[in-house]
Structure 1
Amino acid sequence: MQDPAVLKGTKDGYEIILDDNAKVDDIFVSLHHLLDNLRTQTASANPQTIAFDIYTGMRLWSADDRSEIEKIFANYDYFSVHKITSDVITKEESNRILEQESVHIVDRIIRNGQEVHVQGDVLFLGKVHEGGKLLVSGNVYVLGDVRGVIQAGTPDFEDKMIIGDVHNAQQVRIGEQFEILDDTNRKIDNSTVIYVNDLHVLDYGKVEALKQINPKFFNQIGGVMNG
Structure 2
Amino acid sequence: MTETNLYLTMKGTTEGIIVYLDDQCSFDQLLEELHKQLESDAIHQRTSIKVHTQNRLLDTWQQDEIRHLLNDQHSIGIKSFESNVISKEEARSWYDHLTLKPYVKTIRSGQELHENGDIFIIGDVNPGATVTASGSVFVLGQLRGIVHAGFPDGANEVVAASYMNPSQIRIADQLSRAPDYEVEGSQREFAFINQETSQIELDDLHNLQKIRPNLTDISERGL
TM bucket normalised to smaller: 0.7 to 0.9
- Aligned counterpart, 2:150: 153
- Aligned counterpart, 2:21: 18
User: Which one of 84, 95, 99 corresponds to residue 96 of structure 2?
Assistant: 99
- Once residues 153 and 211 of structure 2 are traced to their aligned partners in structure 1, the CA distance between those partners, rounded to angstroms, is 19
- Once residues 9 and 184 of structure 1 are traced to their aligned partners in structure 2, the CA distance between those partners, rounded to angstroms, is 63
Following superposition, the deviation at residue 26 of structure 1 comes to 1.2
- Aligned counterpart, 1:213: 211
Following superposition, the deviation at residue 144 of structure 1 comes to 5.4
SS at match of 1:210: helix
- Once residues 14 and 183 of structure 1 are traced to their aligned partners in structure 2, the CA distance between those partners, rounded to angstroms, is 59
Following superposition, the deviation at residue 17 of structure 1 comes to 0.8
SS at match of 1:195: strand
Unaligned runs of 5+ in 2: 219-223
Distance 1:155 1:26, change over 3 A: same
- Aligned counterpart, 2:221: none
- Once residues 82 and 126 of structure 1 are traced to their aligned partners in structure 2, the CA distance between those partners, rounded to angstroms, is 49
Aligned length: 210
- Asked if structure 2 preserves the Cα contact closer than 8 Å seen for 1:110 and 1:116, the reply is no
Distance 1:161 1:145, change over 3 A: closer
**Partner amino acid, structure 2, of 1:69:** I
Length-normalised TM-score, structure 2: 0.76
- Once residues 212 and 91 of structure 2 are traced to their aligned partners in structure 1, the CA distance between those partners, rounded to angstroms, is 26
- Aligned counterpart, 1:50: 47
SS at match of 1:75: helix
Unaligned runs of 5+ in 1: 43-48, 221-227
Length-normalised TM-score, structure 1: 0.75
Bigger drift between 120-129 and 191-200 goes to: 120-129
Following superposition, the deviation at residue 195 of structure 1 comes to 0.9
SS at match of 2:214: helix
- Aligned counterpart, 2:119: 122
- Aligned counterpart, 1:41: 44
User: Is 1:193–2:196 an aligned residue pair?
Assistant: no
How large is the RMSD of aligned CA atoms in angstroms? 3.4
Q: Percent identity?
A: 21
Following superposition, the deviation at residue 146 of structure 1 comes to 4.5
User: Is 1:27–2:25 an aligned residue pair?
Assistant: no
- Once residues 172 and 24 of structure 2 are traced to their aligned partners in structure 1, the CA distance between those partners, rounded to angstroms, is 42
- Once residues 47 and 130 of structure 2 are traced to their aligned partners in structure 1, the CA distance between those partners, rounded to angstroms, is 45
- Once residues 82 and 181 of structure 2 are traced to their aligned partners in structure 1, the CA distance between those partners, rounded to angstroms, is 46
- Once residues 87 and 116 of structure 1 are traced to their aligned partners in structure 2, the CA distance between those partners, rounded to angstroms, is 35
- Aligned counterpart, 1:225: none
User: Which one of 158, 177, 181 corresponds to residue 180 of structure 1?
Assistant: 177
Bigger drift between 11-20 and 210-219 goes to: 210-219
**Partner amino acid, structure 2, of 1:195:** F
- Asked if structure 2 preserves the Cα contact closer than 8 Å seen for 1:16 and 1:54, the reply is yes
Distance 1:9 1:147, change over 3 A: same
Following superposition, the deviation at residue 119 of structure 1 comes to 1.9
Following superposition, the deviation at residue 33 of structure 1 comes to 3.3
- Once residues 187 and 76 of structure 1 are traced to their aligned partners in structure 2, the CA distance between those partners, rounded to angstroms, is 69
